[in-house]
Amino acid sequence: MQNTHIPFHQKYRPNNLDELVGQEFISTTLKQALLSKKIAPAYLFYGPRGTGKTSSARILAKSLNCLSFDQPTVNPCGTCELCRQITDGNALDIIEIDAASNTGVENIREIIERARFSPSQARWKVYVIDECHMLSTAASNALLKTIEEPPARVIFILATTNPERVLTTIQSRCQKFDFRRISSDEIFEHLCQIANKESIKFEDQALKLISKRSQGGMRDAQSLLDQLSLLPEGINTKNVQNLLGEISEIDLINLVNSLIDNNAESLLISCNKLYDAGNEPNQIIIGLLNITRDLLLNSINNTYSDIYYTSIEFQSELNKFAKSLEKTKIIEWHNKLKNVEYQIKTSDNPRLWLEVHLTSLLTKQKVESNTSNSIKEIFDNQSDSVKLNNQELIHKKNISNQIPNQSKSENIDNEKLINKVNIPNKIENQSNQESSDDVEFVTKANITKNIQKNHESDELKEKWELILSKLELPSTRMLLNQQAELVSIDSGEIEIALSPNWENMIKSRKVIIENAVKKIFGEQIKLNFSRKEVNKNNLSNSKKKINESQSKKAIESTKPNLIEKISHKETYNNSSENLAKFFNGEIIDLDE
């Protein structure tokens, strides 16, 4: 049995330029070209799929060759033999070529040879090359001369969805027409006309949903309408969503409700219901992103418009959600969900990752309360430790107070010996206090100097990294990074210290380094090289520190020996004077 059904996108293809939907500028331009008889040798029609490129090419061929008129016309009859042949694709002089299957030079040579012959039936021979971006480079170059200077009564119409892949030499020889996406309102009106002609029951909201999801392509919208017209109950929103594989708005709103209520259990239950119903995890994420997008729009302006993803029936729900959510929270959801689609696609367990990502959107009130409690516990522990430290200090003071009381009960000889020992200790304590004040002053000055030096070194490092990034050769960049460093930058000069072993090699690349420096600091900058020296001061300082530590240990070891000698009353010549000189002190009073 022969199939007599004609798909809607073929049955309702436009027959003239006035019926071309959504391309008013193109139809007006082509009309003026036909009326003024200024027909170009080549046209380039480009734009997204389903916007009328091939239909416009056929309409132009009809307008040039309609047998009902002796000259090109704006309104071809569509009933003459040639018009019907063009509509069916059977006309001898109207050649439609699919460039995807005719990409070679041989195919183009055949077209060029046939173009030399005059048309057999029509007034103009028209070549329509569809998807012309699929032609090879050699085939496109072979077509150049014929497009620029075709034989008389020959027109080339090139159609493509990727004009970027068409050679610029081809584009410069054609009149270019940009077929833009058709608006959803115009698609909706056209679908209503088809549904009324075909006596199809439909809901306006369902046809609006089809026009939105067709993404500006009339052929996609007509194909969806043709498929949905087979359902006995007609076209409604639920059927459209089932056909497109979309998540119902009620289920999406339940998900958002669970997120706002911070209810993990209901969120997982609704998520599992959607997954068990056959919905793909990516579709759930996309639907949730569309809902959050509508929430963001509603928080800015709560008046409903066609840019909303959800239908007007759920506008009240969006208003409730927008009042209970802040913009920052909605944007946070967007940032967490925007990179989830690829991860779910590549995962072996998409259901688990869907649940993980959805639960990550829940608010962290409990976590924040736990962290605040832990912070309080830390502070309490710190306060307890401070109290313990204070008690230890008090206890140490009491012990120190008890020690002199015990010393009073000792005999007089021991007191004299202790006094003799305490005299140099007091002197040493006074000198230590004075030296500690000097040390504090010196350390403060050193700290400020170190801060300034660190700041200057950081700036030099940043500028050195910038210079290295401007070097063109990676080998030079690596050599300077390891064997050179930036020492100073003045108003007109820059100094770079070089390692002695690599000095000659780096100096041989001075021109490359100067070019990199001039790119950053200007042409007036002067480049100087210096030799990087080993820092010997550090070695001498370390030796001094070792000697000082050894001398301190020697002094500490002599202290108990001196005390023992004094306690055993071992006398030396001028022992009191030597003892005072040893501690850099003076004898104030001496009790024998």
Task: Looking at the structure, tell me whether residues 426 and 551 fall in a common domain.
Answer: no
How many other CB atoms are there within 10 angstroms of residue 58's CB atom?
23
**Contact assessment for residue 341 and residue 286, using Cβ atoms and an 8 Å cutoff:** yes
**Contact call for residues 222 and 194 (beta carbons, < 8 A):** yes
Name the residue among 135, 200, 153 with its Cα closest to residue 144: 135
Averaged pLDDT, 131-143? 91
Residues in the chain: 592
| Contacts of residue 234, Cβ cutoff 8 Å, sequence gap at least 6 | 200, 201, 202, 203
User: Domain boundary residue among 178, 197, 232?
Assistant: 178
- Report the pLDDT value the prediction gives residue 470, as an integer from 0 to 100: 80
What are φ and ψ of residue 377, in 5° steps? -60, -40
Q: What is the pLDDT of the chain when averaged over all its residues?
A: 78
Q: Which domain holds residue 375?
A: 366-409
Write down the pLDDT at residue 551. Answer: 54
Q: Kindly calculate the radius of gyration of the chain based on its CA atoms and give it in whole angstroms.
A: 46
- Per-residue confidence (pLDDT) for residue 228, from 0 to 100: 92
Residue 434, domain CATH: 3.30.300.180
In a domain, 1, yes or no: no
Same domain, 313 and 372: no
Instruction: Give Cβ neighbours of residue 308 (< 8 Å, ≥ 6 apart).
Output: 294, 297, 315
2 within domain boundaries: no
User: Do residues 331 and 429 share a domain?
Assistant: no
Residue 467 shares a structural domain with residue 528: yes
Side-chain half-sphere exposure of 382, counting CA atoms within 13 A: 6
Per residue in 268-316, pLDDT (tens digit) is 988 888 888 888 888 888 888 888 888 888 888 777 777 788 877 788 8
What is the per-residue pLDDT across 171-189, written as a single tens digit (0 to 9) for each?
999 999 999 999 999 999 9
Q: Please report, as a single letter, which amino acid is at residue 308.
A: Y
Cβ proximity of 277 and 356 under 8 Å: no
CATH number at residue 192: 1.10.8.60
In a domain? residue 590: no
Question: Which among 503, 518, 533 is the end of a domain?
Answer: 533
- Taken in order 413, 418, 421, 423, the sign of the CA dihedral is negative
How confident is the model at residue 588, as a pLDDT? Answer: 66
Are 87 and 152 contained in the same domain? Answer: yes
Task: Verify that 52 and 24 share a domain, yes or no.
Answer: yes
Q: DSSP letter at 95?
A: E
Residue 358 within any structural domain of the chain: yes
Query: How far is it, in rounded angstroms, from Cα 476 to Cα 235?
Result: 70
Could you give the C-alpha distances from 14 to 57, 87, 178, 218, 513, in angstroms and in order? 11, 10, 18, 11, 67
Secondary structure of 359-416 in the HEC alphabet?
Answer: HCCCCCHHHHHHHHHHHHHHHHHHHHHHHHHHHHHHHHHHHHHHHHHHHHCCCHHHHH
Within this chain, do residues 356 and 370 fall inside the same structural domain, yes or no?
Answer: no
Verify that 269 and 172 share a domain, yes or no: no
Do residues 421 and 277 both lie within one domain? Answer: no
Helix then strand then coil, in percent of the chain rounded to 5, is 65, 10, 30
> Between the CA of residue 237 and those of 119, 205, 208, 243, what are the distances in Å?
51, 7, 9, 10
Residue 471's pLDDT band (cuts 50, 70, 90)? confident
Question: Looking at the domain assignment, is residue 588 inside a domain?
Answer: no
Side-chain-facing half-sphere of 492: CA atoms under 13 Å: 1
Is the same domain home to 518 and 547?
no
State which of 199, 225, 243 marks the end of a domain. Answer: 243
At position 89, the amino acid (one-letter code) is G
Looking at the structure of the chain, the number of domains it has is 6
Confidence at residue 511, expressed as pLDDT on a 0 to 100 scale? 85
- pLDDT at position 42: 94
In this structure, the answer to whether residues 122 and 211 fall within a common structural domain is no
Answer whether residue 43 is part of any domain: yes
pLDDT tens sequence across 111-124: 998 888 888 888 99
pLDDT above 70 (res 362): yes
Tokens 């609704």, residue? 270
pTM of the model: 0.59
Is 18 found in the same domain as 160? yes
Q: Are 182 and 210 in contact (CB under 8 A)?
A: no
Give the span between the Cα atoms of 324 and 330, in whole angstroms.
Answer: 11
Residue 496: name the closest of 465, 528, 522, 474 by CA: 528
Name which of 255, 280, 249, 394 is nearest 344 in CA terms.
280
